[in-house]
Structure 1
Amino acid sequence: MSNVHVYSLFSEFDISLFKAGKHFRLYEKLGSHPMTVNGEKGTYFAVWAPSAKSVSVVGDFNFWIEGDHKLNVRWDGSGIWEGFIPGVEPGTIYKYKIQSNNNDIKTEKADPFARRAEHPPKTASVVYDANYKWKDKKWMTTRAKYNSLDTPFSVYEVHLSSWRKTGEENRSLSYTEMADELVAYVKKMEFTHVEFMPIMEYPYDPSWGYQLTGYFAPTSRFGYPEEFMLLVDKFHQAGIGVILDWVPSHFPEDAHGLGNFDGSHLYEHPDPRKGWHPDWKSLIFNYGRNEVRAFLISNALFWLDQYHIDGLRVDAVASMLYLDYSREDGEWEPNEFGGRENLDAISFLEELNMTVYKNFPDVQTIAEESTSYAGVSKPVFLGGLGFGMKWMMGWMHDTLEYFKKEPVYRKFHQNDITFSLTYAFSENFMLPLSHDEVVYGKKSLFDRMPGTEWQRFANLRLMFGYMFTHPGTKLIFQGGEFAQSSEWNFQQSLDWHLLEYDFHIGLQQCVIDLNKLYKTHPALFEKQFSHEGFEWIEWADGENSVLTYIRKGYKSKESVLVVCNYTPVPRENYRIGAPAELYKAGGKLREVFNSNAKKYGGSGDFILESVAVEAVPWNNRENSIKIDLAPLAVMVFAL
């Protein structure tokens, strides 16, 4: 009698959807599923391996002996091998032993759909049946208003392994510990969302998680899957959304991973011009293969469905869009129309976004896309890729380049700090100061700032103030919020001891108050993706290195005035044209934020309670105000 019973979770309709690339809940069918069949407890296994001659489940339950538990191939040409193995319970360690049709290749693979993986460097899958009772109903039923495009969206980006480590043992916090410490910290900092760098299982720590092998398993480095669920749940109970970094752009060649899965190019494109990534020395998915598209889209929906995730930041989209990405002439082949666009990847991204928003209309997808590809965050029906937002890499680059210059030279580079507004509303942009900007010799944000210690902190407060008043949503990588002075090192904890010093405490408080400012002034978020929400007062005062602009609300009818002084020179009696809507509403403006405040580490000078609007024409406006500008500071005024 066979050790594997004939059993299936697939209907004929499931198979037809799978073959067509339209089955987006494959995690309910493929993988290992503990269950009871005919009164017997055990586990149902199913794996896609169309080039296999045989597939055995091997593990600690059968001493890793091939052939004792052979799966049955389906008759319908789907390439799915399946069967029920009695007695295999949750916690069982296993892999698939796959013999290819040509008999020459045997591979031992982790389950692509495993819900849990062994702790690296071990590489096997684990039969798992998460049993978690969610307590985030309030968040889930109301999160649409917190995830929409016309609400505050301020993201704290976290690398779980290095955010904080414990004492002398230098151990990363567990999911459970983070459910206390990290949640409380993000709440204190007033961020609206947290974003985790990839938490799907990955074998190699220096990849920071961007070389995935376990697409459906949260890494076991920090605990069990339900403990990660607890972490998400605690964020939701605290009113904070959770975004996951998601990597459909490439995958590693590790022997237990997806590469050469059944002795054939199953998941990766068979043509190395499309299937090999020269930058990351990794494999690229075959986006034109229906079953691969279904695998990836199912994976995206899995995290939204099973883990209540509120958004996916999609990594390296630019590398997917272009056939010649990081390739020289002769290393790539044009598409059927002679162009450089990867048409299969483009249609995959369109289908991904349409499917995500159809099933979860209250989440966001966010593209890390570094080129000028048009319509990344426009709906597919309007010819776009369908993402909710796109990282504004141009703003990030220009801003950091500008701020590293000595202030005396900034007057010659006024265009660097204003250029972003020429295209700010072409996409739904998120302003990212991410992990990529504080590694590989780029220095920390703080260490890029010029001048004396006081000026460096003032510059950093000014840059954050400019960021939070610039149109678009916000993202800050861990450590930036308290002026981590050294580059990020994934092997070490952040330098939390710096918060023993006043300047670092002051900067942290500045970021807290900027998040509060952003959340409490609708002018800063209601029209954050529309030109209707922004108006220049004066952008050309390069001589003084001063910018003045208005942010406008919609439903609230609120407007705020923003003044940035990018030099350490106070500007006395500086006149600014007053917006008509502000003047008509009463004639006095109150200062609601000043980055030069003493509590932030500023001098405490040039703090204004209110300022009167005068009937003096200026900046092509009938009325104006006259104020003293604080050095290296941003000042924000409202009614």
Structure 2
Amino acid sequence: MVVDSQTPSYLFNTGRGFQSQNFLGCHWHSNQTADFRVWAPHALAVAVVGDFNHWQPTALRELGTTGIWQGQLSKIFPGQLYKFRVTAPDGQSQLKIDPFARQFEAKPGDAAVVCPPSRMHWHDSLWLARRKRTHLERRPLNIYEVHLGSWRRHPDGSYYTYTELTASLIPYVKRLGYTHIELMPVMEHLLDRSWGYQQFGYFAPTSRFGDRDAFLHFVDACHQANLGVFVDWVPGHFIRNYDALYQYDGTPTFEYADRGRADNHRWGAWNFDLGKAQVQSFLISSALFWLEECHLDGLRVDAVSNLLYINYDAGQEHRLNQYGDDRNVEGIAFLKKLNGVVAARHPDVAMIAEESSAYPQVTGALQDGGLGFDFKWNMGWMHDTLNFFKLDPLYRADHFQLLTFAFVYMYDEHFILPFSHDEVVHGKRSLMHKMPGDRYNQFANLRTLLTYMLAFPGKKLNFMGAEWGQYLEWRDWSQLEWVDLDDHLNHAMQRFTAALNQLYHQQRPLWEQDQVDAGLRFTHTDDPQSVTMSFIRQAKRPHDFVVATFNFAPVEHRQYRIGVPYCGTYHLLLNTEAQAFGGTWTRLEQTFTATAQPYRGQPASLTCTLPAMGALLIAPTKVSRGSTHV
């Protein structure tokens, strides 16, 4: 028998079925019939049960020796629920979800929903055309991270729908000046407290907020508002429930056969067997589904370290691979394959790694041995920076290396600087609550922190609520503390965030050369006792730069000298202590004159009053042509 190497079943079983959702699952036809197909290679029998047959099993037949079971049923209507009844090798039967379902019933149920083909008519062609012209590495990227279930809720505690979020979340994020929204996982999941990270619906937007098409309209509306959309995606592990993917055919099917490697103690989940060809087809099909059918602008791949190391999970016994180390050879190969497939098909989208180890070349090119991601979260910078800002200013001089150490490795990867949900939950306190001092000084510290993040090389991400300094840490079971905005300091903080984000978007030096040495020059970073810092962010044009100066102590510095590359006049872009932002300065120094007085390696310098616990951003207005660029 000659096997057609291009059949969907062959491609799926050989790890090359990258659109397997178009073959497997339930496919409804307008003549009220539906094809059902499911992969259960070791099952003795498979049947489909649902509303259409009164939940009495209708047997499917195996497609040759492919491990795929299929059948066509009549009198099937959209909206009907169904599951597969899988009989294991030991003769026991279990109702199982459809791994390729496009929609599930509302929790606490997990039956799949018969869906007709989407009739979505997209209106984002201009956005997609712009996306193709310039990669995000060379554009401003400022992300607002959102948990849809707790951004806003109705007074009775019910969720906002995708449609309601379209009307409220999108204009809010746009008004605040962010460039992208990043959604915590919206793939279908049962447990709210998992935040979406223990999934079972890898092709289905969660029904909590509406149906599949409502989610697509949300993405379309974001693009029409010039907002990109990322979604967290979890290829490392899946929900433990027995009626989901676990031991799907009665044997380890999606997870490792070795229970020690399959059991993920850290998250209470099961690890995918990433070396299995069918699992690779399943996961890469899922990734492409979200990028292609849902028009997403990228995926933030969760817990990449768990895919890179065999012993990453604290509960696992120490294991070694065939080469005598703890690298997860299958996981590394899968990530390279995933990123290679995505880059070949969609070079204009972003693959983002949430990776917490020092694994090299996470964003390195595949041809150079790298993993091929576009960006990596800079977890080291995040931890060190927050640890510094949490200190009483009295002790910051002794721990200045918490800020300066990141300068050593800031170009090792293409970084995103994240103040994410993980840093404002489980007793870690909100960003505002981490700041020392009384309420006024907490706001002053927070404004300086966000300005430091803005000026440091790398793209940006902030979790919802930080934009106005919410004091309570994040609670996934209730909405943000919007009542805070009745307070003038919180309202001023929100105004500051909008101004800061607008400035970031307008000033090319703050993002044009994020990944290269030429994008930053040190002018005053080696003087910890002053607890101040100054550096220059440089755009490609020599005269286009921003001077960023920070004071991390509550002591004002008059006649503070800053080295600059040119003589001439400079103007103020931002003073974090402006009264409009909640500070105390009612009159701001708007212009500065740089003279030919060399200072700290620069041929010219200017002086300013550096506010206590504050920051200044300054840009050239007119510089002398005869001065030397250093």
User: 1:205-255 deviations in whole A, cap 9, x for unaligned?
Assistant: 110110001111100011010000111111000000000000011111112
Other-structure match for 2:164: 177
Cα shift at 1:101: 2.7
Cα shift at 1:143: 1.7
Cα shift at 1:365: 0.6
Other-structure match for 1:324: 311
Kindly report which structure 2 residues correspond to 1:252-263, keeping only aligned pairs within 5 A, or say none. 252-263=239-250
Which structure 1 segments of 5+ residues have no match? Answer: 1-9
Task: Give distance in 2, aligned partners of 1:557 and 1:200.
Answer: 47
- Aligned pair partner of 1:56 in 24, 47, 56: 47
Other-structure match for 2:276: 289
Equivalent AA in structure 2 for residue 92 of structure 1? Q
Task: Give distance in 1, aligned partners of 2:541 and 2:256.
Answer: 49
Cα shift at 1:326: 2.7
Other-structure match for 1:561: 547
Tell me if structure 2 keeps the 8 A contact 1:147–1:310.
Answer: no
Other-structure match for 2:339: 353
Kindly report which structure 2 residues correspond to 1:165-564, keeping only aligned pairs within 5 A, or say none. 165-167=153-155, 169-327=156-314, 331-554=317-540, 558-564=544-550
Kindly report which structure 2 residues correspond to 1:31-50, keeping only aligned pairs within 5 A, or say none. 31-36=25-30, 40-50=31-41
Equivalent AA in structure 2 for residue 624 of structure 1? S
Other-structure match for 1:74: 63
Bigger mean CA deviation after superposition, 269-278 or 363-372: 269-278
Other-structure match for 1:7: none
Bigger mean CA deviation after superposition, 462-471 or 53-62: 53-62
Question: What secondary structure does 2:405 align onto?
Answer: helix
Task: Give distance in 2, aligned partners of 1:362 and 1:84.
Answer: 39
Task: Give distance in 1, aligned partners of 2:525 and 2:349.
Answer: 36
User: 1:120-163 deviations in whole A, cap 9, x for unaligned?
Assistant: 10110001123221111111221235652011000000000000
Other-structure match for 1:23: 17
Equivalent AA in structure 1 for residue 306 of structure 2? S
Cα shift at 1:357: 1.2
Other-structure match for 1:95: 83
Kindly report which structure 2 residues correspond to 1:7-18, keeping only aligned pairs within 5 A, or say none. 13-18=7-12
Equivalent AA in structure 2 for residue 42 of structure 1? T
Which structure 2 segments of 5+ residues have no match? Answer: 621-630
Equivalent AA in structure 1 for residue 459 of structure 2? T
Q: 1:12 to 1:564 in 2, by over 3 A?
A: closer
Cα shift at 1:102: 2.8
Equivalent AA in structure 2 for residue 32 of structure 1? C
Q: Does 1:596 align with 2:577?
A: yes
Question: What secondary structure does 1:439 align onto?
Answer: coil
Other-structure match for 2:126: 138
Task: Give distance in 1, aligned partners of 2:260 and 2:307.
Answer: 12
Task: Give distance in 2, aligned partners of 1:502 and 1:311.
Answer: 37
Task: Give distance in 1, aligned partners of 2:28 and 2:540.
Answer: 52
Other-structure match for 1:607: 588
Task: Give distance in 1, aligned partners of 2:278 and 2:542.
Answer: 48
Other-structure match for 2:623: none
Task: Give distance in 1, aligned partners of 2:151 and 2:420.
Answer: 14
Task: Give distance in 2, aligned partners of 1:180 and 1:73.
Answer: 47
Other-structure match for 1:625: 606
Tell me if structure 1 keeps the 8 A contact 2:388–2:399.
Answer: yes
The percent identity for this pair of structures is 39
Cα shift at 1:13: 2.9
Task: Give distance in 2, aligned partners of 1:606 and 1:282.
Answer: 57
Task: Give distance in 1, aligned partners of 2:541 and 2:170.
Answer: 32
Task: Report the aligned-residue RMSD.
Answer: 1.4
Tell me if structure 2 keeps the 8 A contact 1:605–1:630.
Answer: no
Tell me if structure 2 keeps the 8 A contact 1:145–1:151.
Answer: no
Q: Which runs of 4+ in 1 moved over 6 A?
A: none
Tell me if structure 1 keeps the 8 A contact 2:16–2:281.
Answer: yes
Cα shift at 1:574: 1.0
Q: 1:116 to 1:11 in 2, by over 3 A?
A: farther
Q: 1:524 to 1:602 in 2, by over 3 A?
A: same
Other-structure match for 1:4: none
TM-score, normalization by structure 2: 0.96
Equivalent AA in structure 2 for residue 139 of structure 1? W
Equivalent AA in structure 1 for residue 276 of structure 2? R
Task: Give distance in 2, aligned partners of 1:570 and 1:408.
Answer: 15
Bigger mean CA deviation after superposition, 139-148 or 278-287: 139-148
Q: How many residues are treated as equivalent by the alignment?
A: 616
Task: Give distance in 2, aligned partners of 1:16 and 1:55.
Answer: 20
Question: What secondary structure does 1:120 align onto?
Answer: coil
Other-structure match for 2:94: 107
Other-structure match for 2:137: 149
Task: Give distance in 1, aligned partners of 2:515 and 2:608.
Answer: 30
Task: Give distance in 1, aligned partners of 2:99 and 2:525.
Answer: 53
Equivalent AA in structure 2 for residue 340 of structure 1? D
Task: Give distance in 2, aligned partners of 1:385 and 1:72.
Answer: 40
Task: Give distance in 2, aligned partners of 1:259 and 1:544.
Answer: 58
Kindly report which structure 2 residues correspond to 1:122-137, keeping only aligned pairs within 5 A, or say none. 122-129=109-116, 130-137=118-125
Tell me if structure 2 keeps the 8 A contact 1:606–1:630.
Answer: no
Q: 1:555 to 1:28 in 2, by over 3 A?
A: farther
Task: Give distance in 2, aligned partners of 1:605 and 1:422.
Answer: 38
Bigger mean CA deviation after superposition, 621-630 or 490-499: 621-630
Question: What secondary structure does 1:221 align onto?
Answer: helix
Tell me if structure 2 keeps the 8 A contact 1:110–1:123.
Answer: yes
Cα shift at 1:49: 0.5
Tell me if structure 2 keeps the 8 A contact 1:592–1:638.
Answer: yes
Equivalent AA in structure 2 for residue 323 of structure 1? I
Task: Give distance in 2, aligned partners of 1:618 and 1:361.
Answer: 44
Q: 1:334 to 1:372 in 2, by over 3 A?
A: same
Cα shift at 1:557: 5.3
User: 1:468-505 deviations in whole A, cap 9, x for unaligned?
Assistant: 01000000001011111101000010000111111111
Task: Give distance in 1, aligned partners of 2:83 and 2:134.
Answer: 41
Cα shift at 1:112: 0.3
Tell me if structure 2 keeps the 8 A contact 1:522–1:556.
Answer: no
Question: What secondary structure does 2:403 align onto?
Answer: helix
Q: 1:15 to 1:61 in 2, by over 3 A?
A: closer
Question: What secondary structure does 1:171 align onto?
Answer: coil
Question: What secondary structure does 1:52 align onto?
Answer: coil
Cα shift at 1:597: 1.1
Tell me if structure 2 keeps the 8 A contact 1:147–1:153.
Answer: no
Cα shift at 1:11: 8.2
Cα shift at 1:637: 0.8
Tell me if structure 1 keeps the 8 A contact 2:5–2:11.
Answer: no
Q: Does 1:84 align with 2:78?
A: no
Cα shift at 1:29: 0.7
Tell me if structure 2 keeps the 8 A contact 1:534–1:551.
Answer: yes
Question: What secondary structure does 2:32 align onto?
Answer: strand
Q: 1:441 to 1:368 in 2, by over 3 A?
A: same
TM-score, normalization by structure 1: 0.95
Tell me if structure 2 keeps the 8 A contact 1:146–1:152.
Answer: no
